[in-house]
Amino acid sequence: MTGFAQGRFSLDRLSIGITIKSLNHRFLDISFKGSGASQEIEKIFKEIIKEDLHRGKVEIIIDFFDLDQNTWDIQFNEYLLSNILDKVLHFKKKYKSELSLSLDSLLKIPMVFHLEQTGIDLSEKERSVIAKKIKKIFLEFIKSREEEGNEILKSIISSLDVLEKNVVIVQKKTSEIESELFQKYMDKIKKFLSDIDIDDKRVLQEAAILAEKSCVTEEVNRLMTHSGRIRNMVKIKKNDLLGKELDFLTQELLREISTISAKTNSLDIHEYVIKIRREIEKIKQQVQNVE
C-alpha cells in the first residue's frame, strides 16, 4: 500500500528531517537512507513501526544536520576540479572560446565541495525526543495509507457487488440449461442405440450422469461463499494476515470460475463468466495493496 509523510524538527544542536514513503509489495521490505541512517536511529524506527506495518516496500530517509560548526568537515576535491578545468581549457583551445568559469559556477559542480559531519552521539533525552517526533510523523504516514485503504475497500466492495450479481445470473441460467442438457443426452442415447433393446431406466441413468458432469452448482455456491467471506474480512480493522488471506481467496475465486468455464459449453453463460473473471482480476490487483 502506498503512503507518504515527512517532517523536520530541531533539537538544541540538531536539525532532523524524516521522510517515509511506501510502495505496494507482497512482503515487508524496509530500507533506510540518508546522513542519519545509523543503527541507533534504525532501532528507534523499527520499535515504532513493527506493530503497524506488515506489507509494503518502505523507504525511510533520515537527514541529520549537526548545527555545531565544530563538527563540520568541509572537503575539497582538488583532483576533480583539476580534471574539470583541464577539460575546459582543452575546449577553449579547440574552439577558441571565451568561456570562463566563475567561483559560483565551480561551487555548483557536484562533489567539488561537500560537507562531512563526524558521528553524532545521542543522549538519552535526545533519543526520547527524537522517538516522539518520529512517532508523530509515522502516524501521519499511517493516516495516508488508511485513506488509500478506504478507497481500496470501496473498489473491492464494488467489484464484489458486480461479481455476485453475475453469479446469480449464472446460477439461474445453469438451472435452465441442466434440464435441457438432460433431455439432449436422452435423445442422443436413444438415437445411437435405436436398434438395441435397452432398459429406459438405464438410458435415464446415463443421461443423468452426463448432465451431472456439466453441473456447476457446487462451483457457483463456492463462489458466493468466498465472495461473502471477502466482504466480511475487508470490514475487519485489525488482522495481521488480512492481505495474505484475501490473496488466497481471490485465487480460489479464479479456480472456481475457471472450472465453470471448462464445464459449460453455453455461450450465454460464458458471457457472464468473462464478466465475473474481470471483477475477480480487479479484486486480485487491489488485495495486493491490502495491509
pLDDT for 137: 92
Q: What is the pLDDT of residues 19-56, one digit of tens each?
A: 999 887 777 888 888 876 677 788 888 888 877 777 77
- Is it the case that residue 155 has pLDDT exceeding 80? yes
Sign of the CA dihedral running 191, 194, 198, 200: positive
Rounded to an integer, the average pLDDT of 112-136 is 76
- Is it the case that residue 252 has pLDDT exceeding 90? yes
pLDDT for 153: 86
Please state, rounded to an integer, the average pLDDT across all residues of the chain: 78
pLDDT for 180: 59
- Of 35, 44, 93, 96, the closest CA to residue 65 belongs to 35
Q: What is the 3-state secondary structure (H, E, C) of the chain?
A: CCEEEEEEEECCCEEEEEEEEEECCCCEEEEEECCCCCHHHHHHHHHHHCCCCCCEEEEEEEEEEECCHHHEEEEECHHHHHHHHHHHHHHHHHHCCCCCCCHHHHHCCCCCEEEEECCCCCCHHHHHHHHHHHHHHHHHHHHHHHHHHHHHHHHHHHHHHHHHHHHHHHHHHHHHHHHHHHHHHHHHHHHHCCCCCCCHHHHHHHHHHHHHHCCCHHHHHHHHHHHHHHHHHCCCCCCCCHHHHHHHHHHHHHHHHHHHHHHCCCHHHHHHHHHHHHHHHHHHHHHCCCC
Cα 66 from Cα 71, distance rounded (Å): 7
Cut 0.85: pTM above it: no
- Is it the case that residue 75 has pLDDT exceeding 80? no
Lowest mean pLDDT among 6-15, 69-78, 278-287: 69-78
Strands 28-33 and 72-76: unpaired
pLDDT for 122: 74
pLDDT for 195: 60
- Of 93, 8, 27, the closest CA to residue 291 belongs to 27
pLDDT for 160: 93
- Of 259, 230, 231, 260, the closest CA to residue 247 belongs to 230
pLDDT for 165: 93
pLDDT for 237: 58
User: Which span out of 43-52, 165-174, 260-269 was modeled with the highest average pLDDT?
Assistant: 165-174
Rounded to an integer, the average pLDDT of 258-275 is 84
Rounded to an integer, the average pLDDT of 131-146 is 89
- Is it the case that residue 275 has pLDDT exceeding 80? yes
